[in-house]
Chains A and B, each alone.
Chain A
Amino acid sequence: MAKITELQVNGARCPIEADEATPLLVVLRDQLGLTGAKYGCGEGQCGACTVLLDSNPRHSCNTPVGKAAGHSITTIEGLAANGRLHPLQQAFLDSGAFQCAYCTSGMILTAAALLRVNPHPSEDEVRRFMNGNVCRCGTYPRIVEAILGAAETMAKNKS
């Protein structure tokens, strides 16, 4: 099996050592210490492990690291820019959009991908796009509120 020796994560080149079939999630967490991506199911059903691969949301639990090599990977640790929280991170704080927060990093990264392709989503579009992410604590209404709030902030920041 081919070995993968480098990943492009949060703008930096990171040396790793893994079989190409190893789940990206395991490499990020155990080799790079990026534990913001969480294990929740291992089968693409909960979204807790979501990262961005070239700005697209991916379940890192069932993405082989071989498929991620050569792409630009963003994890929750890389979302804040220049020491400033991303508007989505701020909006989740402001809306209190979590209880245990185990789902939060996956939620934020999935929402970031949504707002990139659809900067002004309707409530219904948010729900549909986010449906693959589970919040077992049931904070869905506040997550929707936070995402819509962040969309507004980002629109304002642009103008």
Chain B
Amino acid sequence: MSANLGPQFEIEFERYELSAGLPYHFEFGRREFLKVFGGGVAVVLIVPRAAAAQESGRRQRGFEESMPAEIGAWLHLSENGAVTVFTGKAEVGQNIRTSLTQAVAEELRAPLGSIQLVMADTEKTPFDMGTFGSRTTPQMNLQLRRVASACRDLVIALAAKGWNVDAKGLVAEDGEVRDPAGGKVLSYGELARGQALAKAVVAEDPLLPASAWTVAGKPLPKVNGEDFVTGRHIYTPDVKRPGMVYGKVLRPPSYGATLESLDTSAAAAPNVIVARDGDFVGVTAPSEPQAEQALAKLEAKWKTVPRPSSRELFQYLKANAETGGRGGEPFETGSVEEALKSAEARLEQTYTVAYIQHAPLEPRAAVAEWSGGKLTVWTGTQRPFGVRLELAEAFRIPEDRVRVIVPDTGAAYGGKHTGDAAIEAARLAKAAGQPVKLVWTREEEFTWAYFRPAGVIEVRGGARADGTLTAWEFHNYNSGPSAIRTPYEVPNQRIEFHPVKSPLRQGSYRALAATANHFARESSMDELAHALPHGGMDPLEFRLKNLKDERLRAVFQAAAEKFGWGKSQPAAGHGFGIAGGVEKNGYVATAAEVAIEDNNVRVVRVVTAFDCGAVINPDGLKNQIMGANIMGLGGALFEAIEFENGRVLNNRFSKYRVPRFRDVPAIEVVLLDRKDIPSAGAGETPIVGLAPAVGNAVFHASGTRLRSLPMVPNGLKA
């Protein structure tokens, strides 16, 4: 399909190819080095200019002038042995602070405790496009390994030179270089003392075989875990600045409403400031309760406009679909019409998915501070440099006057790409002349943050009596083109994505549209298997019959084996289902067992087999896969945004059900560790198998086919 696939698809463009190049040295002048690093040894990762430009779409700015523009990350070994690594990636709960620290520790052979990661601070860390698309592990992990091993070679060379011995005989371990033959030892700090040594390594194409890396075999606890279990860690809503006041924003009553008039007189109080800028209205006050009170006293008249409601959503999406243009050319091969005519089993069905909210437990928040014409903002975002640009544009100041700092954040799941709270806090801080903290309420989150796109998917399929697929037609309206192509072998296909102007604000979500497309595809594969003549075919057998892709076959087989597929019959009222697919180089198959109890669906057991190439951190990976399945349960079973005339009706956790302890099934994870294949990311893809596996199991248990996500918001009605 063409690459130009509409707005949700854009964020997938992170797949920047880094062209391989020869490592080269560049010389820092000693004075320059001391100015930047203050002595010691530094290793800088260079991303070749072409790739850097492609990655960011523009040159980076704001980083130390004396540093080249294409820096991807850098590591500094100080004269006291402390190692600081700088990366623009953000920690939003995927535990990359730990996995990246671990990667550096292993390659550098230095104790974990001596390594500190400085992350996602636009003034201190090099440009990074953002932390999403599951690219941190396959790219940054690998690059930091290269940087760390180059640093290790440097300290070994320093020792060899100092001792006048051959570097080959020296051992680096635990932050020291030893000469077993001569019995000498020097710590990294001692070796770095008095040095001003810099080396550059060029980022290589990370898609090179990864079999050579040391694979982190044993699970590592979160490096700064103690800060979290003691409550010491400072998330954005916990940041406090001298003289800080609290902000609140006046929200329109519905989408598309415009401000007609505003009377602020009732809100007037000492130290309360009301800011108005076009349709933006907000207040600041010395305490949050005071800010809330002032907000409640504002009298605003809004002009509302009619908007669609969730009741008519799917008709709306169909009726307002765009053809051609943004959706790109359809993928077409053979003739679906001809093939359907001669098919011996046919399927024609429509599937739908609702808007859902990421609902990260930490709401969008920001603390903004202006000082000397410079703006500093602490905010939880996956795109610190993107937010810096948004701020610079909003306030018409150069980017180097803006600093964005991302404290390790209370999750995002694809939902924190934009700088809404940052811009609002900065606008209020400008009005107040003081630093401002703004924390969105849960109600604001549920209305004004963006949603996972809703969608309608129409499928037509045909097969011969022996189960060979012959025709496949697939139209996705609005939810997105990720994983829209079928991995099965079908000679006649037509596949098309139809963008729609969404009635609600929509954006990326863990795994993007791969969830919706897998739900439709893997449900209809199940339907086709059952529709085959002579009582249908086992759904797993049907899939394997039409599947050549070895890696996908392997995960299906692994999940089936662990699950005991075909070995036993479910208990009364229980059912088994299986589904799988491939996205972002991750291959997943999920088998599920459900129980129907009092018209409710309970997921009893889930087995997920996953292959994302070489496994770097098995424990973290398992945690991510379990988490993806549990999060996926919500969207599969009960999460849906209800709205009417541009107003979200279920804007709280008491009205929007998320998975809880009692919803959690037994989850087993099978990792297929492919040491011969570079690692792909894993935070997203494992979510895509769950919904169709559960839907297929519900059909198996009850004979009821559920074609809408969520499947049972109000229980299973016959």
The interface of chain A, by Cβ under 8 A from chain B, is 19, 22, 26, 29-30, 33-43, 45-46, 48, 75-77, 79-80, 85, 89-90, 92-94, 96, 98-105, 108, 126-128, 130-144
Residues on B with beta carbons closer than 8 Å to the beta carbon of A139: 623, 626-627
The residue on A at minimum CB distance from B625 is: A138
Decide if A127 touches B361 in the complex (CB within 8 Å).
no
Assess whether B653 is in contact with A138, with CB atoms less than 8 Å apart: no
Q: Are B626 and A141 in contact (CB under 8 A)?
A: yes
A30 & B222 in contact (Cβ 8 Å cutoff): no
B94 lies within 8 A of A99 (CB): yes
Q: A80, A103, A127, A143: which contacts B662 (Cβ < 8 A)? A: A127
B652 touching A94, Cβ below 8 Å: no
CB-CB contacts below 8 Å: B454-488 with A? none
Cα-based distance from A138 to B606 in the complex (angstroms): 14
CB-defined contacts of B240 to chain A, threshold 8 Å: 33
Q: A80-B230, A99-B95, A141-B667 are in contact. Are A30 and B288 (CB under 8 A)?
A: yes
**CB-CB < 8 A to B619: which residues of A?**
96
Q: How far is the CA of A105 from the CA of B233 in the complex (A)?
A: 11
Contacts of A144 in B (CB 8 A): 661
By a CB distance below 8 angstroms, the chain A residues around B92 are 100
Q: A39-B439, A41-B652, A99-B623 are in contact. Are A105 and B231 (CB under 8 A)?
A: yes
Q: Name the distance in Å between B656's Cβ and chain A's nearest Cβ.
A: 9
How distant is the Cα of A26 from the Cα of B246 in the complex, in angstroms?
12
Q: Contact: B219 with A96, CB < 8 Å?
A: yes
Mind listing 8 A-B residue pairs with CB under 8 Å? Answer: A40-B361, A40-B442, A48-B361, A75-B231, A99-B94, A104-B229, A140-B664, A141-B664
User: Given A38-B410, A93-B222, A136-B411, 4 more contacts at CB 8 Å?
Assistant: A79-B230, A93-B221, A94-B221, A98-B228
B92 to chain A: closest residue by CB: A100
B contacts with A, residue count (CB < 8 A): 57
Given A35-B231, A41-B442, A98-B222, A134-B627 contact (CB < 8 Å) = no
Contacts of B624 in A (CB 8 A): 99
Kindly state the separation between the CA atoms of A115 and B656 in the bound complex, as whole angstroms.
Answer: 30
- A89-B230 in contact (CB<8A): yes
Least distance between A96 CB and chain B CB atoms (Å) = 6
Asked whether B660 is an interface residue with its Cβ less than 8 Å from the other chain, the reply is: yes
Bound Cα distance from A17 to B674, whole angstroms:
60
Task: Quote the shortest CB–CB distance from A111 to chain B (angstroms).
Answer: 11
Interface hits, B2-27 → A, CB 8 Å: none
Residues of B within 8 A of A103 (CB): 361
* Residues A137 and B627 in contact in the complex (CB < 8 Å), given A41-B653, A100-B360: yes
Chain B 322-353: CB-based contact to A (< 8 A → 1; otherwise 0)? 00000000000000000000000000000000
In the complex, chain A residues whose CB is within 8 Å of the CB of B228: 98, 101, 104-105
Residues of A with C-beta under 8 A to B363: 39-40
Q: How far is the CA of A35 from the CA of B93 in the complex (A)?
A: 18
Q: Are A77 and B231 in contact (CB under 8 A)?
A: yes
Q: Is the CB of B361 within 8 A of A130?
A: no
A116 to B94, CA, bound (A): 32
Q: Which B residue sits closest to A45, measured CB to CB?
A: B653
Docked CA distance A34–B238 (Å) = 9
A130→B240 CA distance, assembly (Å) = 31
**A134 and B233 alpha carbons, distance in the complex (Å):** 19
The answer for the CA separation of A35 and B240 in the assembled complex, in Å, is 10
Nearest Cβ in chain A — how far from B661, in angstroms? 4
- Partner of B237 from A39, A43, A136 at Cβ < 8 Å: A39
Please, which residues of chain B bring their CB within 8 A of the CB of A135? 361
CA distance A159 to B630 in the complex (A): 37
How far apart are A59's CB and chain B's nearest CB, in angstroms? 12
| B288 in contact with A26 (CB, 8 Å) | yes
Task: Tell me the chain B residues, 344-383 only, with Cβ under 8 Å from chain A.
Answer: 359-363
Known: A30-B288, A96-B221. A102 touches B230 (CB 8 A): no
| Cα of A6 to Cα of B155 in the assembled complex, Å | 57
A76 to B: closest C-beta gap in Å: 4
A142 and B413 CA atoms in complex are apart in Å by 19
Q: Which residues of A contact B660 (CB under 8 A)?
A: 131-134, 140
Instruction: Pick from B225, B441, B630, B662: contact of A138, CB below 8 A.
Output: B630
Does A46 contact B238, Cβ atoms closer than 8 Å? no
Q: A36-B232, A139-B627 in contact; A100/B667 too (CB < 8 A)?
A: no
What residues of A have a CB within 8 angstroms of the CB of B631 in the complex?
A: 136-138
B287 at the A/B interface (Cβ < 8 Å)? yes
The answer to whether A134 and B361 have CB atoms under 8 Å apart is: yes
Nearest CB of B to A117, in Å: 17
For the complex formed, measure the closest distance between the CB of B511 and the CB atoms of chain A, giving whole angstroms. Answer: 14
B78 to chain A, nearest CB (A): 28
Query: What residue of chain B has the Cβ atom nearest to residue A40's Cβ?
Result: B361
From A42, A76, A137, A142, give the contact of B411 (CB < 8 A).
A137
Contacts of B226 in A (CB 8 A): 85, 89, 93
Partner of A85, one of B230, B234, B411, B659: B230
Please state if A85 and B229 are interface contacts (CB–CB under 8 Å): yes
Please give, as numbers and ranges, the residues of chain B lying within 8 Å of A93 by CB-CB distance: 221-222, 225-226, 229
In the complex the two chains form, is A92's CB within 8 Å of B229's CB? Answer: yes
- CB neighbours (8 Å) of A29 from chain B are 238
- B658 interface hit (Cβ, 8 Å): yes
Q: Which of A37, A100, A108, A126 contacts B362, CB < 8 Å? A: A100
| Across-interface contacts of A39 in B (CB, < 8 A) | 237, 363, 439
How many Å lie between the Cα of A34 and that of B233 in the bound state? Answer: 11
Task: Check A96–B231 contact: CB distance below 8 A.
Answer: no
Q: How far is the CA of A104 from the CA of B360 in the complex (A)?
A: 14
Chain A residues closer than 8 Å to B233, beta-carbon distance: 101
Q: How far is the CA of A17 from the CA of B225 in the complex (A)?
A: 33
In this assembly, does B699 line the interface, its C-beta being within 8 Å of a C-beta of chain A? no
> Most chain-A Cβ atoms within 10 A of its Cβ — which of B238, B246, B629?
B238
A99 touches B627 (CB 8 A): yes
B590 CB–A CB distance under 8 Å: no
* Whole-angstrom distance between the Cβ of B91 and the nearest chain A Cβ: 8
Q: A43-B653, A96-B222 given as contacts; is B359 within 8 A of A136 (CB)?
A: yes
- Let me know if B289 is at the binding interface, CB within 8 A: yes
Partner of A89, one of B229, B442, B628: B229
> What is the CA–CA distance of A130 and B246 in the complex, to the nearest angstrom?
32
> Which residues of chain A have C-beta atoms less than 8 A from B630's C-beta?
138, 140
Contacts of B234 in A (CB 8 A): 35
B576 CB–A CB distance under 8 Å? no
State whether the Cβ of B409 lies closer than 8 Å to any Cβ in chain A: yes
Cβ of B460 to closest chain A Cβ, rounded Å: 35
Point out the residues of chain B lying under 8 angstroms from A92, CB to CB.
225, 229
B654 in the interface, Cβ–Cβ < 8 Å? yes
B127 within 8 Å of A by Cβ? Answer: no
Q: Are A100 and B222 in contact (CB under 8 A)?
A: no
Most A CB within 10 A of own CB, among B221, B225, B234, B363: B225
Chain A residues whose C-beta falls within 8 Å of the C-beta of B664 in the assembled complex: 127, 138, 140-141
Select from chain B the residue with minimum beta-carbon distance to A98. Answer: B228
User: Does B235 lie at the interface of the complex (its beta carbon under 8 Å from any beta carbon of A)?
Assistant: yes
A159, B131: Cα distance in complex, Å:
48
Are B231 and A76 interface neighbours, CB within 8 A?
yes
